[in-house]
Amino acid sequence: NAGVTQTPKFRVLKTGQSMTLLCAQDMNHEYMYWYRQDPGMGLRLIHYSVGEGTTAKGEVPDGYNVSRLKKQNFLLGLESAAPSQTSVYFCASRPLSGPSYEQYFGPGTRLTVT
Amino acid sequence: EDKVVQSPLSLVVHEGDTVTLNCSYEVTNFRSLLWYKQEKKAPTFLFMLTSSGIEKKSGRLSSILDKKELFSILNITATQTGDSAIYLCAVNSGNTPLVFGKGTRLSVIA
């Protein structure tokens, strides 16, 4: 099991450019999440998905879009990057039910927007 | 609105000290409270607590939950430099996303 993987690991964008971050999990988890982490702010939820074909907004969704066309993949898109989107992005997944509600995190993507 | 508050936000201790990290919460439909350790990369799972008064222990780390007073503590005894990390507390209220606190940054100096 690879667990949760994220692509790419690092990226530098210019203001106004677009990009897509890919999250993949091989644990057959229903729930998937995208967070951003900034110094002193903890983890802030951007968007999440409770199943294939469904998405919902989190705490800080503006400037981002997501899609969950396949259960194992959750894509995060930035249509027009801004310096305020410089951050570390984490994807996570967890199962719908079971003895543990443990949430598994990907390794993160460090994005810099200049 | 669901809320998780951790304190202190940062802490510097010397090796060998004992530390206590705090997490208080206000959520509807509480299911469990989780502790994570984050070093340079992704958070890694430490404990999940569901019942009051039952201590979870792993080596020098232990945690306990008080569902009446709505808080949890994470204790680390005989701290080592390898314990330096951000410690995150999160609360699970069922089918909604976990609610995370801002974390406590622990620095252990030799």
CA distances from A16 to A65, A76, B69, B71 (A): 15, 16, 48, 44
Q: How far apart are CA B91 and CA B35, in angstroms?
A: 9
How many angstroms separate the CA of residue A16 from the nearest CA in chain B? 27
The per-residue pLDDT for range B9-35, each reduced to its tens digit, is 999 999 999 999 999 999 888 888 999
> What local confidence, expressed as pLDDT, does residue B4 receive?
94
Q: State whether A107 and B102 contact (CB < 8 Å).
A: no
Structure tokens at A51: 């199943």
The per-residue pLDDT for range B49-62, each reduced to its tens digit, is 988 888 899 999 99
pLDDT confidence bin for A41, thresholds 50/70/90? confident
> What local confidence, expressed as pLDDT, does residue B31 receive?
87
- The gap from C-alpha A12 to its chain's centroid, in whole angstroms, comes to 17
- Report the amino acid identity of residue B81: T
Beta bridge partners of A75: A22, A67
Mutate to test the interface with B, among A101, A109, A110 (most CBs of B within 10 A): A101
B15 DSSP assignment: T
Chain B interface includes A102 (CB < 8 A): yes
Q: Chain B residue closest to A98 (CA)?
A: B94
Q: Look over chain B and give the mean of its residue pLDDT values, rounded to a whole number.
A: 92
The per-residue pLDDT for range B67-83, each reduced to its tens digit, is 899 999 999 999 999 99
Tracing tokens 């897509």 back to the chain, one arrives at A20
Mutate to test the interface with A, among B2, B31, B33, B41 (most CBs of A within 10 A): B41
The per-residue pLDDT for range B82-106, each reduced to its tens digit, is 999 999 999 988 767 888 999 999 9
> What local confidence, expressed as pLDDT, does residue B40 receive?
82
Cβ-Cβ contacts under 8 Å, B9 against chain A: 40
pLDDT confidence bin for A100, thresholds 50/70/90? low
> What local confidence, expressed as pLDDT, does residue B28 receive?
85
How many angstroms separate the CA of residue B69 from the nearest CA in chain A? 22
